[in-house]
Amino acid sequence: MRKRSEGRPVIGVALGSGAARGWAHVGVLEALDELGVEVTVQAGCSVGALVSAARHLGIWEEFQRWAVGIGSFASWSSFAYGFGRGGLVDPGPAFEAFREHDRLIEDLDRPWGAVATDLATGQEVWLTRGSVLDACRASAAVPMLLHAAQHQVGDKVRWLIDGAATNPVPVSLARALGADRVISVDLNTTGRVLERFDRPTGRAVVPVEMPHIPGETIMPRSVADFLKGTKNTIDRELAMMKAKSAAQPHFLETVVATLDIVQAQLSEARAQIEVADVRITPDMADCPPGAFDRFEDYRGIGYEATMALSDEIEALVSPDGADSAGAADRGRL
């Protein structure tokens, strides 16, 4: 438990889940640095655990270089593929790339923790002891996509999956780790849903432009008409196939949309109960959670969303903010 110094509150951040959207957390933390905010406590879920761990392990620059490169085809060689353990991808090899920097959570200079979900009980699990990388690995085990993780919890070995299944933005964990004031970052308030199904019912119209045949002006009329008719038929068939494909959900997009919907509903419900002092909600509506190659875009979104709340954040960390913090805490009891 950390104590206030010079009358200032102990500041914690709760970094939420979001897969590739988690690159926005990098921009958030950089903006907090620029604002002079001393973050003492960090709690993360899934990619939020990974980003915050990079700071605590002193591999911030190395992590960002890895994140920038992960969108390239070559980088995916650091993952292993195969059905098993409840997912398609084994991310273990990628975590092993940073193993030499790993530390025990209890040996870190500042409080840190990750949240995961126990498959045996359905309960959230706070990972506050043991290997930092193993905690990140368990917290980020996205159901159906990444393998579940075996993890020592107390005196038992548990199968753990993504903390987003129970606590997508772990404000409660940040407070338990000693934060007086918590800044939360929720990346799923404007998730991607399948908007193409939100349309009036009725017969679909598939427009196809009239084809142009190069050199048709010098061809015999019958030949030109035959070629245009053939191309028109092919274009219509292709357009119809595309329309039929878009008329029903596909496997992976349904998985992504489902996870987005569940996380958004759950994080909103918990936000009403476990109230953060400042809640940062970057607009990620046009940010697919699988677009790992958009590191710079997502980092910029996180930075701008944080700077937009700079007045609230600066007021939060002031000595007066510490006084109001005590009053707010008493009001919640």
Active site residue 78: no
- Of the candidates 309, 292, 328, the residue with the CA atom closest to the CA atom of residue 179: 328
Q: Which of 58-67, 196-205, 226-235 has the highest mean pLDDT?
A: 58-67
3-class DSSP state of 60: helix
260 vs 25, higher pLDDT: 25
Q: What is the DSSP string of 148-200?
A: -EEEEETTEEEEEEEGGGT-SS-HHHHHHTT-SEEEEE-S-TT----GGGSS-
Summarised one tens digit per residue, pLDDT across range 289-304 is 878 889 999 999 999 9
The one catalytic residue in 46, 52, 184, 267 is 46
10 vs 228, higher pLDDT: 10
Q: Which of 60-69, 152-161, 205-214 has the highest mean pLDDT?
A: 60-69
Tokens of 314: 């600066």
Q: What is the DSSP string of 65-125?
A: HHHHHTTSGGGGGGSEEEEETTEEEE-HHHHHTTGGG--BGGGSSS-EEEEEEETTT--EE
Name the residue ranges covered by the structural domains of the chain: 11-189+249-317
| pLDDT of res. 292 | 85
For residues 99-123, b (16+ Cβ closer than 10 Å) or e, as one string? eeebbebeeeebbbbbbbbbbeeee
Distance CA 212, CA 240 (A): 20
Of 15-19, 49-53, 86-90, least confident by mean pLDDT is 86-90
| pLDDT of res. 89 | 57
Q: Are 44 and 50 in contact (CB under 8 A)?
A: yes
| pLDDT of res. 291 | 85
Q: What is the dihedral of CA 87, 116, 264, 257, to 10 degrees?
A: 0
Residue length of the chain: 333
Residue 332 has pLDDT above 70, yes or no: no
Distance CA 42, CA 48 (A): 9
Contacts by residues 308-312 (CB-CB < 8 Å, ≥ 24 positions apart): 309/278, 309/280, 310/31, 310/35, 312/278
Distance CA 75, CA 297 (A): 19
Active site residue 46: yes
Q: Are 318 and 201 in contact (CB under 8 A)?
A: no
The one catalytic residue in 118, 134, 162, 277 is 162
Site of tokens 């987003």: 164
Residue 256's Cβ-count burial label (10 Å; 0-12, 13-18, 19+) is: buried
Residue 143 has pLDDT above 60, yes or no: yes
Q: Region 64-88: what's the mean pLDDT?
A: 59
| pLDDT of res. 92 | 60
Band the pLDDT of 329: cuts 50, 70, 90. very low
Half-sphere exposure of 52 (CA within 13 A, CB side): 34
**What is the CATH number that goes with domain 11-189+249-317?**
3.40.1090.10
Residue 195's Cβ-count burial label (10 Å; 0-12, 13-18, 19+) is: exposed
Residue 229's Cβ-count burial label (10 Å; 0-12, 13-18, 19+) is: exposed
Residue 111 has pLDDT above 90, yes or no: yes
Tokens of 223: 């030949």
Q: Region 24-36: what's the mean pLDDT?
A: 97
Q: Region 210-229: what's the mean pLDDT?
A: 61
187 vs 240, higher pLDDT: 187
208 vs 329, higher pLDDT: 208
Q: What is the dihedral of CA 114, 115, 121, 122, to 10 degrees?
A: -160
